[in-house]
Amino acid sequence: MKALLYSATFAILVSTPVFGADSVSLTGTWTGQRERIAKVEGRRGGLATLVITDQQGGTFAGRLKRSNPTGDEDEPLWGAFTPGGKLMIGSDEEGTYIFTLINRNTLDYCYSETGASPRSVCARLTRQRSGR
């Protein structure tokens, strides 16, 4: 009977999400290298900086800055996530983001735009520690 109880407890602990609903915090600055492919411009990489300035419950807002050979682009974005942060999505004025929180300081994202000039981008971002 004890073995069954221990097995059940272990199964519950293993299947429990790493983050509780209240412990998901996206606020801060996240940076990393991105890779992109587009119908018109082809392949390109560069630095991506995501700054989440506002988070309330399961919603957030911020800006994504991308380095490009033609100059930096900086666009607002808005997002939401399910309790625990297992499912995360965002959007800007042109496309859609999918996010995966790998751990408290690592965030993966992919972005897609459709239309006459479709493009897809993915990156792994690391939260930057604030200087004290």
**3-class secondary structure, 53:** strand
Which residue blocks in 1-132 are alpha helix, DSSP H?
Answer: 2-15
pTM of the model: 0.79
Residue pLDDT tens, the chain, 132 long: 455 444 444 444 444 444 444 589 999 999 999 999 999 989 999 999 999 999 999 999 999 999 887 888 999 999 999 999 999 999 999 999 999 999 999 999 999 999 999 999 999 999 998 754
CATH code, 2-127: 2.40.128.20
Boundaries of every domain in the chain:
2-127
Instruction: Quote the CA–CA distance of 104 and 54 in Å, as a whole number.
Output: 17
> Residue 52 burial by CB count (10 A; 0-12/13-18/19+): exposed, middle or buried?
buried
Instruction: Quote the CA–CA distance of 59 and 96 in Å, as a whole number.
Output: 15
Cα end-to-end span (Å), the chain:
52
